[in-house]
Structure 1
């Protein structure tokens, strides 16, 4: 599909559902949502947060609810596009104009707006690696609790940098030398590579 820059272009490109998309668009823009185009499709946002979007395909068209998982769905109108993969997104699918219950669509959109105002959203899971603390650092923390407290205050990324720095040393002497060098840095709350990050 060619890149589109306006909702009008999107409807024109999907002219087999032009009237239907226009009806859905009119319902959505009757609310306080702001109309934008993202990923070459109409998206409607509230204070910069995506709430709903319009989509058209070969045999169906519909509305995407970005955090549709929180909708009550009393009329059982929503589907999960990719069961097992999609956590928050839900679709309301239609195949013809006759499928559109305008009152229901408006009610669902309004509920989605309220949910957004309440801050209901599925946060993306960060698949960060857990921090494995080498035995040399554990010993240091037992002997110097202030260093341990400072270490715990660091971000997981900075903690990981220090752990890997100690772990990667082959010789015990190198590990001890590295430990001595990082103690003041940990106490200052800086990361191992901070001095290079803003170069």
Structure 2
């Protein structure tokens, strides 16, 4: 059972309430999967098996968490996920599922990795079309070429200009960006035209 000393150090640095949770989860993973590899990914203890991430754990100020990389396939599609954890935000060892359940879940995750099953693709909802601020709408009304370019842009290009303008912290900066945006759009240019391949 290869142990990564960085995980020992991680557990020692965790809040006192989290230490027994992390230690017990670690033992369960090794019980179910003796050939598991330990590492640190994204600053958190991570367990790897059969060339893929099996699961990971983390300690926060108020809770600890443990989650499977293929959560929906291991725990079930309908089981909600609270943050990165498959079992919610845990504050004591009592929050862990029964040993038998946890071992069964770990073995299921192992089998998925061994069979080369990929995690389901996450579907993100498309962003709503950007809302044009009044000052930009007024400036575009005065410049037909800029208005035509803006109207022809896909939502992502419109959003780039809008975000650039509204993120200005000072009024003078916003006014400069607005004038620059109208000038570039009148020339048919996207917001990041300088970086596009010619």
Coarse TM-score class (shorter-chain normalised): 0.3 to 0.5
TM value normalised by structure 2 = 0.48
Q: Which has the higher contact order (CA 8 A, sep 6+)?
A: 2
TM value normalised by structure 1 = 0.48
